[in-house]
Amino acid sequence: MTLYGIPNCSTVKKARAWLAANGIEMPFHDFKKHGVSAELLQAWLRQAGWEKLLNRQGTTWRQLSDEARAAVGDEASALRLMLEKPSVIKRPVLELDGRITVGFDEPRYQSLFGK
C-alpha cells in the first residue's frame, strides 16, 4: 500500500488530504525525488495502459517539443519518457493490494477504503 506522486501536485494534495481526513496512513513515494523503476512502471502499464498513465494535461507534457510529443505513440516510447521525466506520469498512483488506481476520484477512494 503506497501512494506515488509529487508532493506539490494539486491532485496528489487532494488525495493525501482525503486519506488523512479518513484516518488512513499511507506511505508516500515522491517519484520526482526517488524516481520510479522500469519494472514498477511496466507493472503499472500492464494494469492501466500507457495512455491512461501518461499525463498529457500537465506542465511537463506541454513543455516538451512538438517532436518529443509526436514521438510518444506506443507503450515503449511512453515508458522511455516516463523514466526520463517522471513528472509526466499521471498522479497520484495508488497501489493497494497489488492493484493500482491512477488519479484521484473521491468516490473511487471511498469504495476502495470502505468509507
Angle between helices 38-48 and 75-84 (to 10 degrees): 140
For residues 60 and 31, is the Cβ–Cβ distance under 8 A? no
Tens digits of per-residue pLDDT, 66-78? 999 999 999 999 9
Please tell me whether residue 24 adopts helix, strand or coil conformation.
coil
Confidence bin at 115 (pLDDT 50/70/90): confident
Which runs of E-coded beta strand occur in the chain?
2-5, 28-30, 93-96, 99-102
User: Please, what are the domains in the chain?
Assistant: 2-113 (3.40.30.10)
Q: What is the pLDDT of residues 48-105, one digit of tens each?
A: 999 999 999 999 999 999 999 999 999 999 999 999 999 999 999 999 998 999 999 9
Catalytically annotated residues: 9
pLDDT tens by residue, 27-46: 999 988 999 999 999 999 99
pTM: 0.91
Rounded Cα distance, 9 and 75, in Å: 24
Contact 101, 19 (CB under 8 A): no
Residue 32 has a pLDDT of 83
